[in-house]
Structure 1
Amino acid sequence: MGLTRSFPRIALLLSVLLVPWARASEAAPWRDPSPHKVRFSTVAENVQLETLDWGGKGRPIVLLAGGGNTGHVFDDFALKLRERYRVYAVTRRGSPPSSIPEDSYSADRLGDDVVAVISALKLTKPVLMGHSYAGFELSNVASRYPEQIAGVIYLDAFHSLDPDYEAEGFYKIVEWKRQLRDFEQRLDDLMAEPWDSRPLARQMLQENLPQLQAIFERLIRIEDGRPPRPDPTPADLDSFRTLQAWYARGSKVVLPEAEFRMMLATDADGRPLMKFRRPPFVGPQMEAAKRKYTDVRVPALGIFAAMNDPGTVAQGDREARSNSEAYTWFQDERAKRQMALFQRDLPQARAVRIERADHYVFLSNQKEVLEEVNAFIATLP
């Protein structure tokens, strides 16, 4: 009788004691651990860009992310830079949380955005450092507003689009393109039904066919030798942390968790989806904005990633070793081709090649990149 009467009081007491514990056990809202300040700079009517400020002292550096990334991709790298410099990053228009207008992604508009941020932050002659697609923005500003900046640093970035130069190669291999064109010409001659097709047929059989077979066989070996990156499993998509770990296993680069959270959409439970938050209409407009630049009028440094690390290969496996060698050769040739264009267009610039790197070279080879950046900036007036 006494126990029955006291039960409501016990239940009430337990509820008072357990509710705080239950609340504490719930997952706390995620907070970006990077020690940056976030502000939004107005660059045009109804367009604001996210600007990250990590602080630091010294010459200002403005970081520009690759086409599919946001400023948060530099969350870790910026902490190393701020030991010597005042460090900022910008998330370009079209990528949330920056504004996403339906149009206005021309080359000059993207360059003007960068200059507008420099003005909004009241920076004097900063160094612009850009990754991948951002190289076009670097070249645009360095060509049109050289007085606004001290120099540009290309982090495995495209400095220019030259359709004629690109057309000279097949998979960036000039010799392959020459062989394919030779085959096409002889095939056209054969299709014209010469009076006697035997000499041309014998020539194609003896020369062209072995060349084509060698190209196809090497292409297959290159892909077979490429380090595997399996698609994410449901377990990999359980959280942004597990997704981050999945990406690191495939690329040997750990992108900041904040970057995945900024780039990717989520399901109703907050789990990441392999779907960009950036609307699909942005990418094609940015691609259309690519231009040829040959008038970069500030000091420039190009850091190029030779992505020639095939990963672990069993030495006793002759087939696997041959495939890895083909993959390494191909990546070496691509890096050479990219550097050759850069040195042709910017003959006064310094070009540096970093071996066994990832496209995110500022993460995969951070020490080497920092050394090159410091040495370059030390030469600036």
Structure 2
Amino acid sequence: MGKWTLWLLIALGLLVNHIAGPLLGQNVWSARTTTIGTVPPRLAKQERPMANICKFDTSGHKVSIVTVEPGVQLEVLDWGGIGETLVLLAGLGDNVHVFDEFAYQFNDRFHVIGITRRGFGRSSQPVYGYDIETRARDDIAVLDKMNIREAIFVGHSIAGTELNEIGAVYPDRVKKLVYLDALDLGAGGWAALPQPPPSPPDTAADLESVRRFAAANARFNGYRAPLAAICNSIRTGPSGRVVAAITPPEISRKIIAGLQEAQYDRIQAPALGIFNAITPDYRLPYYWYLDRATQEKFDRDIKPLAEWIAGAIQRFRTGVQNSRVIKLHDTNHYVFIVDEALVVREMRKFLLEK
């Protein structure tokens, strides 16, 4: 996620710059603009084993490529399970491999699948179709192709916009909705907020290999993404060095440009929101790597952001008639990774209720 996308995530309530707009945050986009240069032969020799690291995905899911319209195909993962279908949708910049470990918390009682939205991961990158109506229609088209009539939808971060649209426009396809720190960026004046500064740029050492890159992201962002999520977000050179992001930044810009206020009053399905309610004292791990002047800007900008998040949570609570809210305090935007046990407990309780 380019640095501007990091800001989106920050606004989402996580304040994390991972993954191209969730995805490997600013680090991935820095990789696109960093001068790579020539890797010394000694270093290249050391890195060769790393070049194959992204060829192995141990999650055990089945991978399908589903055509949702002529020329547009989406990557769909199936973690198996028997019961009602549970659909996982990732945040901006992420691909659905970000749930590679989390998915196994539910496939004892549900059939768990995940969809990588157009523009990201192995899904197609058409020049069009990043508006909310099309993205929601893509998700429904996947269900149609799989002969799934009704499903539970679980969305992280900006996937909440897809949940809002699906819940409002396709109510007969929705069993329940779960929002994982997925606030309504189209309302409450978010676009006008000053945004806290992003993390420091990647160093040459951070880009030497996928594992170094993953470590830098974990160090600055406070959570470790599944390796397959990172591998499906970046391109590497022959030595294994990170050289580019798979998704160009204009795709995320198109998604953000099309944000709309949620039609909460049209959502009929039971909904659970698990949100990161930050305070003005909230600090991301990378804060401590910033110079003093940049830290002071962060300190100033975090206050109005905390107020906006509080208001967004309240809008969800009062706007979605059949909703339940769990507020976590000063944790991480990737609540399903950092606070996995708590999130799983609350989700299973909600989803298994009749």
Q: Which band: TM-score by shorter chain?
A: 0.7 to 0.9
Give secondary structure in 2 for the equivalent of 1:68: coil
Alignment pair present for 1:152 and 2:177:
yes
Shift of 1:378: 2.0
Alignment pair present for 1:255 and 2:225:
yes
Alignment pair present for 1:361 and 2:330:
no
The separation in 2 between residues aligned to 1:79 and 1:326, in whole angstroms, is 40
Give secondary structure in 2 for the equivalent of 1:84: coil
The separation in 2 between residues aligned to 1:340 and 1:105, in whole angstroms, is 28
State which structure, 1 or 2, has the greater radius of gyration over its C-alpha atoms. 1
Identity over aligned residues, as a percent?
31
Q: How does 1:283-294 map to 2 (within 5 A)?
A: 283-294=252-263
Give secondary structure in 2 for the equivalent of 1:281: helix
Q: How does 1:257-276 map to 2 (within 5 A)?
A: 257-273=227-243, 275-276=244-245
The separation in 1 between residues aligned to 2:284 and 2:235, in whole angstroms, is 31
The separation in 1 between residues aligned to 2:162 and 2:240, in whole angstroms, is 34
On the 8 A contact 2:89/2:96 being kept in 1, the answer is yes
Over 3 Å counting, the alpha-carbon distance change for 1:32 and 1:332 in structure 2 is same
Over 3 Å counting, the alpha-carbon distance change for 1:323 and 1:146 in structure 2 is same
In structure 2, runs of 5+ residues without a counterpart are: 1-47, 289-295
The separation in 2 between residues aligned to 1:297 and 1:356, in whole angstroms, is 30
Cα distance per residue 1:304-331 (max 9 Å; x no partner) = 01345547999xxxxxxx9999898666
Cα distance per residue 1:203-257 (max 9 Å; x no partner) = xxxxxxxxxxxxxxxxxxxx6xx9x954333222221112111111222211011
State which drifts further: 346-355 or 92-101: 346-355
Q: How does 1:199-348 map to 2 (within 5 A)?
A: 229-273=199-243, 275-294=244-263, 295-307=266-278, 310=283, 332-348=306-322
Q: How does 1:87-106 map to 2 (within 5 A)?
A: 87-106=112-131
Match in the other structure for 2:157 = 132
Over 3 Å counting, the alpha-carbon distance change for 1:46 and 1:249 in structure 2 is same
Q: Which has the higher contact order (CA 8 A, sep 6+)?
A: 2
Which of the two has greater helix per residue? Answer: 1
On the 8 A contact 2:268/2:321 being kept in 1, the answer is no
RMSD: 3.1
The separation in 2 between residues aligned to 1:45 and 1:124, in whole angstroms, is 22
Instruction: Provide the aligned length of Structure 1 versus Structure 2.
Output: 294
Shift of 1:168: 11
In structure 1, runs of 5+ residues without a counterpart are: 1-24, 173-222, 315-321
Match in the other structure for 2:133 = 108
State which drifts further: 275-284 or 148-157: 275-284
Give secondary structure in 2 for the equivalent of 1:150: strand
